[in-house]
Amino acid sequence: MSSQTVAPTPTRLRWLALGVLVLAVLLVGIDVTVLGLAAPFLSEDLRPSGTQLLWIGDVYSFVIAGLLVSMGSLGDRIGRKKLLLVGSAAFGALSVLTAYAHSAEAMILWRALMGVAGATLMPATLALIRNIFPDPRERSLAVGVWGAMTAAGTAVGPVVGGFLLEHYWWGSVFLINVPVMAVLVLVGSKLLPESKNPAPGPWDLPSVGLSMVGLIALVYAVKEAAAYGFRWDAAAAAVVGLAALYAFVRRQLRLPAPLLDMRLFAHRGFSGAVLADLLTILGLSGLVFFLSQFLQMVQERTPLQAGLAELPAAIGSIVAGLLAGWVARRTSVRGAVSGGLAAVGLALGACVWLQTTTSYLLLGSVLLVVGVGAGLAFTVTADVILSTVPKEQAGAASAVSETAYELGAALGIALLGSVVTGLYRSFETPSGVPEGSAEHARQSLGEAVQTAHTLPSAPGGELLAAARDSFTEGLRYGAGAGALVLLAAAALAWRLLRGQRL
């Protein structure tokens, strides 16, 4: 059984179709980075609490993690092109609503709904690549371009976002999505070939519900426990999440046409690649989410300067992504993945010496190494995942890969982000600062900046200096924890990817 397509795709059209597909991943890369860049401006305008700010950062990941497997399987059934185009149109419309959010609660709602639409994008693009490029070497290059464009989004996002934030209001950064989505829908509807599983079986709604409840409840439990301790609500959510995921797995093993074929995980290369992706993003996400705040509110860079400062990571990732297939074939798959992850871990480890006055030479070097290592590892693991599954299951398999990515991002922001915010909130305020102002300042670094401006210059300056020192200390600890996670991921990849080839 093979995946159904309208017609074999000629070579020229294959690469043109890839150009359309990477618009979606370019957009995702932009969307992730501009949110971090806009966080200080959101704090000033919407005045979210520290908890609300974390929810704004990770609710998208929570929702998308809960829906990716379901959407990937739906694309295998109804057509990946159809799902991609519908999701792209919805993503563009929700971006407009997010841009004009009037409160922190509204922002969280629109970001959650963007997660629903976003769950259609990444699995569909990878699954279409799997079907458009049957030749392994061509597919490796196509996956490299796919990964490079994701990194390019992280490069374009901060620069374009920084320019917009300096000239317009924070909502303008989300309007970037609209023209990109419009081009994708208009051109993709004519150029992309349709593909789907010709005999998929029904889309099992109980399985959809179980996967959503299980993943979202489990991530919520981890987030709440990391932020407030293991209270009864976190314990209840953990129990519900684990029970739902257990029931999901049991149901998949019994169904003749499961939402997700659990036998995929019996392949050591597939499982190793998925686990490496999850741990890598978990270790990186805390630093990524807070780095823009450090550059702007601690080192007092403008949004555009902060965006330009983050460019080395994206440039390194683009170059490494394009060369990843060649490197993996010249060395080995496990060598490429483990080496990349170890390099990222060592670069994060260097951040334990981070100070408020750290020069850009160290920061830029760290970001370059992080970009090269992550670009190499992610591109090779994506290729491994696609090459180890049948074409008709490409959507579901791609969704598992993206679920690991999004789940890792959500857990990383929840766990490592809570390390940063927990240490930040413990700082001692100077004696001349009123207790009410001190409480406001402990909510978030953005709140501290606003509070300092309302105080006389001497106590305001002392408060801001104490807040910046405390935030930087939290970032050091978060980066150190992330480094340990990355080094553990490198060791696991070395073991699990033994003998794997592209």
Residue 442, phi then psi, degrees to nearest 5:
-75, -10
Alpha carbons 285 and 289: distance in angstroms, whole number:
6
Q: Between the ranges 12-16, 53-57, 317-321, where is the mean pLDDT highest?
A: 317-321
What pLDDT score was predicted for residue 228? 67
- Mean pLDDT of the 97-121 span: 87
CA separation for the pair 472, 358 (Å, rounded) = 10
- The DSSP output letter for 497 is T
In the structure, what pLDDT confidence band is assigned to residue 62 with cuts at 50, 70 and 90?
confident
Look at the block and give the residue holding tokens 């939402």: 259
- pLDDT of 3 above 50: no
- Rounded distance between C-alpha atoms, residue 384 and residue 382, angstroms: 5
Q: State the virtual CA torsion across 36, 40, 45, 46 in degrees, nearest 10.
A: 60
> For the ranges 35-39, 329-333, 415-419, 450-454, which has the lowest average pLDDT?
35-39
Structure tokens at 247: 């029931």
Nearest to 497 by CA among 263, 284, 277: 277
Q: Above 50 in pLDDT, residue 73?
A: yes
Residue 430's pLDDT band (cuts 50, 70, 90): confident
Is the CB of residue 64 less than 8 Å from the CB of residue 406? yes
Which structure tokens are listed for 57? 């950062």
- Cα atoms found within 13 Å of the Cα of residue 63, Cβ hemisphere only: 19
Radius of gyration for the chain, computed over Cα atoms and rounded to the nearest angstrom? 22
Distance between CA atoms of residues 64 and 349, nearest Å? 30
Let me know if residue 3 belongs to a domain.
Answer: no
- Which is higher by pLDDT, 328 or 151? 328
| Per-residue pLDDT tens over the stretch 201-231 | 788 889 989 988 998 888 778 767 766 667 8
Calpha distance 364→312 (Å, rounded): 6
More confidently predicted of 366 and 43: 366
Residue 91 forms part of a structural domain: yes
Report the chain's mean pLDDT, rounded to a whole number: 83
Residue 253, in any domain of the structure: no
Cβ contacts of 348 within 8 Å, gap of 6 or more: 283, 284, 287, 366, 370, 479, 480, 482, 483, 486
Cβ atoms 416, 348 nearer than 8 A: no
User: Containing domain of residue 103, as a range?
Assistant: 12-203+259-496
The CATH number given to whatever domain includes residue 128 is 1.20.1250.20
Highest mean pLDDT among 213-227, 355-369, 431-445 belongs to 355-369
Q: What is the C-alpha separation between 181 and 27, in angstroms, rounded?
A: 8
Q: How many CA atoms within 13 Å lie on the side-chain side of 41?
A: 21
| Distance from C-alpha of 155 to C-alpha of 313, rounded to nearest angstrom | 8
pLDDT at 490: 94
Kindly indicate the confidence band of residue 5, based on its pLDDT and cuts at 50, 70 and 90.
very low
In the predicted model, what is the mean pLDDT of residues 281-293? Answer: 80
Classify each residue of 324-361 as buried b or exposed e, where b means 16 or more C-beta atoms within 10 Å of its C-beta: bbebbeeebbbbbbbbbbbbbbbbbbbbeebeeebeee
Q: Quick one: what percent of the chain has pLDDT higher than 70?
A: 94
Three-state DSSP class for 337? helix
The pair of three-digit structure tokens given for residue 222, joined into one six-digit string:
């981890």
Most confident segment among 93-97, 229-233, 384-388? 93-97
Reply yes or no on whether the pLDDT at 267 is more than 80: yes
Question: Which residues fall within 8 angstroms of residue 86, CB to CB, at 6 or more apart?
Answer: 120
pLDDT score at 8: 47
Lowest mean pLDDT among 147-151, 233-237, 242-246, 348-352: 147-151
Q: Distance (Å, rounded) from C-alpha 348 to C-alpha 118?
A: 29
- Regarding pTM above 0.85, the answer is no
- A 10 A CB-CB count for 172 gives 17
- Answer whether residue 252 is part of any domain: no
The residues that bridge with 4 in the sheet, in sequence order, are 196
Q: What is the sign of the dihedral through the CA atoms of 94, 95, 97 and 103? A: positive
Q: Is residue 491 part of a domain?
A: yes
Q: What is the mean pLDDT of residues 461-472?
A: 87
For residue 253, pLDDT beyond 50: yes
* Residue 63 near residue 407 (C-beta atoms within 8 A): no
79: phi then psi, degrees, rounded to nearest 5: 120, 125
pLDDT over threshold 70, residue 6: no
Least confident of 3-17, 65-79, 164-178, 237-251: 3-17
Q: Are strands 4-5 and 195-196 parallel, antiparallel or unpaired?
A: antiparallel
d(CA 248, CA 327): 38
According to the model, what pLDDT value does residue 11 have? Answer: 66
First and final CA of the chain: distance in angstroms?
22
- Please count the structural domains in the chain: 1
Q: What is the 3-state secondary structure (H, E, C) of 154-215?
A: HHHHHHHHHHHHHHCCHHHHHHHHHHHHHHHHHHHHHHCCCEECCCCCCCCHHHHHHHHHHH
Residue 245 lies in a domain: no
The stretch 478-487 carries a mean pLDDT of 92
| 290 alpha-carbon distance from chain centroid | 14
Residue 234 lies in a domain: no
The confidence score (pLDDT) of residue 210 equals: 93
Quick one: which of 284, 238, 286, 290 has its CA closest to 445?
A: 290
pLDDT at residue number 9: 54
Residue 380 CA, distance from chain mean position? 17
| Angle (deg, nearest 10), helices 311-330 and 360-387 | 40
- Token pair for residue 343? 């390099």
Give a yes or no: residue 218 inside a domain: no
pLDDT confidence bin for 10, thresholds 50/70/90: low
